[in-house]
Amino acid sequence: MLNEIVHINFSCPALDPLGRENVIGKLRFLPEHVELSWQMLGNVFTGGKSEMKTITLPYDEIEHVDLIKKWWKIRKIIFRVSDPKLLGDIPVAEMGKLTMEIDDRSREEAKKLNDLIDFQRSVFRLDAQEKRLAAMREDLS
């Protein structure tokens, strides 16, 4: 499970009625961190698609991931991070929370998310605890 990479294609519909902030992207759950790549879709007001941007998120910054099901299929992911600044550039993000509609191709991959994130966060917490213990041992020496 540690080396398993999960890819989720998503879209975030615009919050405004004119559809100026429609976002598409891909979440990649890598062994060391999560990469969130996104871009704004083009429309009448903004022209073509914007440039693809990538945000690197450590697993310990991920606060919670909710999988929203409808008719027994995962339809949405609610992705929350502890520091809202990390998602600050994404126009549809609200205070560190991003609601993503999952692409049909990514539904099977999304089923693996909760276990993967829990495992990765526990690994990072264990590493942090070992570093603190090593630092305490050095202080005592």
Q: Quick check: 62 pLDDT over 50? A: yes
Closest CA to 53 of 71, 35, 67: 35
What's the pLDDT score for residue 104?
79
Domains annotated for the chain, with CATH where assigned, are 6-140 (2.30.29.30)
Average pLDDT, the chain: 81
| Percent of residues, the chain, with pLDDT higher than 90 | 6
Q: Kindly give, in sequence order, each residue whose CB lies less than 8 Å from that of residue 31, ignoring residues fewer than 6 positions away.
A: 2, 3, 5, 120
Q: Quick check: 90 pLDDT over 70? A: yes
Tell me the CA distances in angstroms from 127 to 121, 123, 130, 140, one per residue in order. Answer: 10, 6, 5, 20
